[in-house]
Structure 1
């Protein structure tokens, strides 16, 4: 990578679907949330087809996902998780409501991990970052519910609804990049690389969800 990545922060962040109300948590509540998150995480590592698939694909690409580098934490900022190539995956126990959201979040971060191993991503390059965010939002399953909403409401075609969701989610992640000026800048970067990155479904054969 061409620039050193600060270890004090996650390189990528997975945004929450809606802005939640931030509340002060007791130490007991924090411990309970982290314990529940760990239970969900361990279940997904053992049983989730998408998570197990990504573990295998990262290994096949020359990487290794250590379970000790997938950590449930209490996050200050509203987000579902994050990825750092040195520190691993962060899962935000206080913002992940159930194990299915954790499954999509973990799958999302594992796609970043795969990209980091397979494509040698320069995370300080906005276009590289945006490309990985597009792929993670599209392939992780996190836009499946939104696509279903658009299909049922008749607002637009299913495929188009998926793309709109992916663009929105990717921009919400890119706007947190230190080189990104604002949301308009994030949207412009996402639009610039969208077609090629969205069409790259590796390591999947296609978008399954």
Structure 2
């Protein structure tokens, strides 16, 4: 599955909550306190306590987060130009060989890793509802995964080929809008003016590649990204140019 990662390398986390994480509503109040929250802000909590707090918060808000995400996805397929365009382009390539990618193939779930979403041709698109804080972020993430869907249909991307994966990650970060200047400058506090887009795309593609089992380490990921950079960064299909 192709994944959209955050700018900080994701720690290795178990699929299930850590042992200290509460698993029922009666225990959540222990973590859901102002004191815990402020201890995190003041760096007084341990990494385990911080992880437990956020895991508990995500668990408590799972239903509302997923409902909000699903509602946003439905709206985006009706009103977002980039989402509608990519849906139409993937539909044209599918030719009946695969189910059309629409709201029914978008799965909003609570994620325990630091990713925002993922794509699999057989499963569809995963959106990590607990990590998507706004409509704009959801739109960028959905557009990113739709670029992956387009690439898999157009170029027959191989899951275990790191060059293929690097190329589709470069294209998805470039074309989705997640690396546009305002997102980097105000959202991620990346304050460089020159080569901002290129640095963002390289960073995110490298991080995503690092979490694939075929990748040895960061140096390996960076080398693969550099090898395919020129052709993949300049390839804006299905757009005539970088959309935003």
* Structure 1 length-normalised TM: 0.86
Distance, in Å, in 2 between the alignment partners of 1:49 and 1:197 is 23
Q: How many residues align?
A: 195
Counterpart pick for 1:32 among 64, 67, 72: 64
How far apart, CA to CA, are the structure 1 residues paired with 2:199 and 2:208? Answer: 15
Q: For the residues of structure 2 that align with 1:167 and 1:205, how far apart are their CA atoms?
A: 21
Q: Which residue of 2 aligns with 1:3?
A: none
Give the aligned partner of residue 186 of structure 1: 221
Task: Describe the SS at the equivalent of 1:24.
Answer: helix
**1:1-209 maps to which residues of 2 (within 5 A)?**
11-18=1-8, 22=51, 23-25=54-56, 27-62=59-94, 64-144=100-180, 145-146=182-183, 155-157=192-194, 160-209=195-244
> Is contact 2:4–2:208 with CA below 8 Å preserved after alignment?
yes
| Aligned-partner SS, 2:130 | coil
**Residue 68 of structure 1, CA deviation:** 1.9
| Matches of 1:199 and 1:12, distance apart in 2 | 21
Alpha-carbon shift at residue 28 of structure 1 (Å): 4.3
Q: Distance in 2 between matches of 1:147 and 1:103?
A: 16
Given that 1:34 and 1:74 are in contact with CA atoms closer than 8 Å, whether structure 2 keeps it comes out as yes
Unaligned runs of 5+ in 1: 1-10
Give the alignment's Cα RMSD to 1 decimal. 2.1
Q: Deviations over 1:30-86 (max 9, x none)?
A: 101111111111111111100000000011212521432210000010111001111
Per-residue deviation at 1:125? 0.3
Distance in 1, Cα, partners of 2:9 & 2:131: 10
Aligned equivalents of 1:89 and 1:189: distance in 2?
25
Normalised by the length of structure 2, the TM-score is 0.74
